[in-house]
């Protein structure tokens, strides 16, 4: 995986701006520790940091394509993996294209020369990239269908900046770190249901999943090239399960292609275990490397209701022994959590989820000592309906993973709340999301509700989850692939009736049926158990001490947050409200401290 950045300017000769473009890309060395370079022309400049995975020697970037006379036709800076690049390469070769490398980057570039913007519809993978068309003097930004890889941009009438992370754009002196009522509402009201396209920085946007952004002489044009198509499902039960198995098998096979060491993240749950079993079945006798997170004996995770039901270890041990994987448990002690506590903010460029961010980063850091690429089981719950809120009968009047939970907005000062309007903002964003749902004609009752929740999960919760995964993995220079995000699987399962996905009232019954012969019964029927949260007492104690110190100091955070409300909760020992609905004892403390550091360290101006 890589980091990309760039700049298009119709009023400035960018051939003289190498230092600034390098500064933009140098903010993302962790995303691309293997190499970095820039490509400059009069009106466009592209930067790249590379984590070499495919064609280690030949796939350097930015990459340009030339005609037979040596004139530059287009240039690309690309992050991601296209899993069908070999088939596309063969098709393009038959059409007369000649390739200098064995990389998927060159395939994507040549595909754009052949098919233009329509090329993106032919790609199977996770990607974010920018193509500069020399003849048209036009930039095209592209993001994959589910938004696995990030891409940020900001534009004026004559200029556009972009980068894989906000820090790349912030490194350009033309962009100033500011936030406003909308950005603060994203931070305090819908932190775990981010609005597509929006960020916490004023003027900075994301390329929405399944969208392109064009910037040419006529200005900015955004276009959706993909969304799940709603249509009647006509396959019977057995055919549906077989099709899911076929798609998963093909997806895992494609995503095991790598020129560097590769492994799988294994939690002992249904999703990661299914991927591991499919990988082992296709490994031609080679042992598969698997990895999991663990904690010291005196810091084992608390069991938090429906979220953390039981220990992963027995299930991991059983499956690893059955499949003969080479398993490594990465231990994350509380002292390491404290030592790396700032990684969430530094990697995200905004306040994140606190301890779960740090823990995930340390897991990825441990995995990176062994492999460069890992496959992960995320996205299965969104696709197959695995979360508890899919199975509740509560009124659907807000994002279901936030029902009954507190919010950081509860701590806002009255005057700040009156300006930001967090409750109204969250309600508006929820109504907007529901209005987007593509229903079948006449769809009602259970099927209508299930489709609504599926849409909310795929378009509002999943982006938050994928952002966390991307940012923590890239901070550790680890590429994480997510086979359940294959758009063919998402498109197919989107139209499977809820009665089949949830047959017999069993969550993810369809997935269990599709992979039932691959897994031991204990793993196959294991209920959902979320990523474990460390109970290290030193971590919670340190955060509490920092918060108690904070409330007695002048701090920019108290221009927004009610100091007395924080004091009262600290005195009473009541947890502060955090950005996630899942119970977490330190989430609110982490969020408060991170907002303070974000405003100060990033010199964010509130306006």
Tell me which residues are annotated as active site. Answer: 2
DSSP class of residue 350 equals: S
User: Distance of CA 531 to CAs 186, 293, 308, 326, 380, Å?
Assistant: 24, 9, 7, 21, 14
Quick one: tokens of 183? 């950005």
Maximum CA extent, the chain: 75
d(CA 50, CA 102): 16
- Beta-bridge mates of residue 374: 263, 480
DSSP structural state of residue 370: T
Cβ contact 104:85 at 8 Å: yes
Separation CA 107–CA 103 (nearest Å): 7
C-alpha to C-alpha distance for 56 and 599, rounded to whole angstroms: 40
DSSP string for 35-61:
EEEEEE-SSEEEEEEE---SSTTT--S
- Nearest Cα neighbor of 382 from 444, 469, 453 is 453
Distance in angstroms (rounded) separating the CA atoms of residues 134 and 113? 11
Output the six-digit token pair for 96.
């007369």
Strand partners, 157: none
Asked if 24 contacts 7 with a C-beta cutoff of 8 angstroms, the reply is yes
72-82 β-sheet, strand order: 63-66, 72-82, 125-133, 138-143, 211-216, 219-224
Return the DSSP state at 460: I
CA dist 118 to 142, 223, 249, 568, 600, Å?
11, 11, 27, 57, 43
Residues 6 or more apart from 416 whose CB is under 8 A from it? 184, 559, 560, 561
Quick one: the chain helix, strand, coil %, rounded to 5? Answer: 45, 15, 40
Per-residue CA distances from 604 to 158, 188, 559 (Å): 25, 16, 13
CB neighbourhood size of 468 (10 A):
22
Report the C-alpha gap between 164 and 30 in whole angstroms: 12
Contacts of 88 (CB under 8 A, 6+ apart): 82, 107, 111, 122, 123
């Amino acid at each position: 995986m890589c980091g990309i950045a760039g700049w298009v300017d119709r009023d400035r000769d960018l051939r003289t701006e190498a230092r600034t473009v390098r500064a933009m890309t140098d903010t993302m060395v962790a995303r691309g520790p293997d190499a970095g370079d820039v490509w400059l022309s009069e009106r466009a400049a592209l930067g790249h940091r590379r984590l070499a995975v495919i064609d280690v020697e030949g796939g350097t970037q930015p990459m340009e394509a030339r005609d037979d006379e040596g004139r530059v036709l287009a240039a690309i800076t690309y992050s991601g993996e296209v899993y069908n690049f070999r088939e596309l390469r063969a098709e393009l070769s038959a059409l007369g294209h000649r390739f200098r490398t064995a990389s998927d980057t060159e395939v994507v570039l040549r595909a754009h020369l052949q098919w233009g913007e329509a090329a993106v519809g032919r790609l199977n993978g996770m990607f974010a990239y920018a193509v500069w068309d020399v003849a048209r003097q036009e930039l095209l930004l592209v993001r994959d269908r589910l938004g696995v890889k990030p891409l940020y941009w900001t534009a004026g009438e004559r200029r556009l900046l972009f980068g894989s992370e906000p820090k790349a754009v912030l490194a350009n002196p033309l962009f100033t770190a500011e936030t406003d009522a909308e950005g603060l509402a994203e931070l305090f009201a819908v932190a775990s249901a981010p609005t597509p396209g929006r960020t916490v920085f004023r003027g900075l946007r994301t390329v929405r999943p399944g969208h392109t952004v064009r910037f040419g002489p006529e200005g900015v044009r955004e276009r959706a090239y993909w969304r799940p198509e709603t249509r009647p499902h006509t396959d019977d039960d057995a055919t549906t399960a077989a099709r899911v198995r076929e798609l998963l098998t093909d997806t895992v096979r494609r995503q095991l292609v790598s020129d560097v060491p590769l492994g799988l993240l294994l939690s002992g749950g249904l999703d990661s275990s299914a991927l591991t079993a499919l990988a082992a079945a296709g490994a031609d006798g080679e042992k598969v490397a698997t990895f999991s997170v663990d904690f010291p004996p005196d810091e084992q995770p608390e069991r938090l209701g429906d979220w953390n039901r039981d220990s992963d270890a027995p299930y991991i041990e059983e499956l690893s022994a059955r499949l003969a994987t080479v398993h490594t448990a990465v231990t994350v002690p509380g002292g390491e959590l404290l030592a790396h506590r700032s990684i969430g903010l530094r990697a995200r460029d905004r306040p994140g989820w606190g301890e779960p961010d740090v823990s995930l980063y340390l897991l990825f850091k441990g995995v990176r000592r062994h492999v460069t690429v890992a496959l992960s089981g995320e996205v299965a719950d969104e696709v197959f309906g695995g979360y508890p809120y899919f199975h509740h009968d509560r009124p659907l009047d807000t994002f279901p993973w936030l029902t009954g939970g507190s919010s950081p907005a509860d701590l806002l000062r009255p005057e700040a709340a009156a300006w930001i309007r967090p409750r109204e903002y969250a309600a508006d964003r929820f109504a907007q999301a529901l209005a987007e749902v593509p229903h079948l004609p006449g769809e009602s009752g259970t099927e209508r509700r299930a489709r609504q929740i599926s849409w909310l999960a795929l378009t509002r919760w999943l982006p938050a989850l994928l952002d966390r995964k991307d940012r923590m993995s890239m901070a550790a220079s680890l590429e994480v692939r997510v086979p359940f995000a294959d758009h063919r699987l998402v498109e197919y399962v989107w139209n499977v009736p809820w009665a089949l996905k949830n047959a017999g009232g069993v969550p993810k019954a369809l997935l269990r049926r599709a992979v039932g012969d691959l897994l031991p019964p204990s793993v196959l029927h294991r209920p959902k158990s979320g990523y474990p949260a460390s109970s290290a007492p030193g971590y919670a104690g340190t955060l509490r001490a920092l918060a108690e110190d904070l409330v007695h100091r002048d701090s920019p955070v108290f221009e927004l947050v009610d100091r007395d409300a924080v004091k009262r909760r600290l005195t009473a020992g009541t947890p502060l409200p955090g950005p996630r609905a899942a119970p977490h004892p330190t989430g609110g403390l982490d969020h408060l401290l991170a907002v303070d550091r974000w405003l100060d360290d990033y010199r964010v101006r509130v306006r």
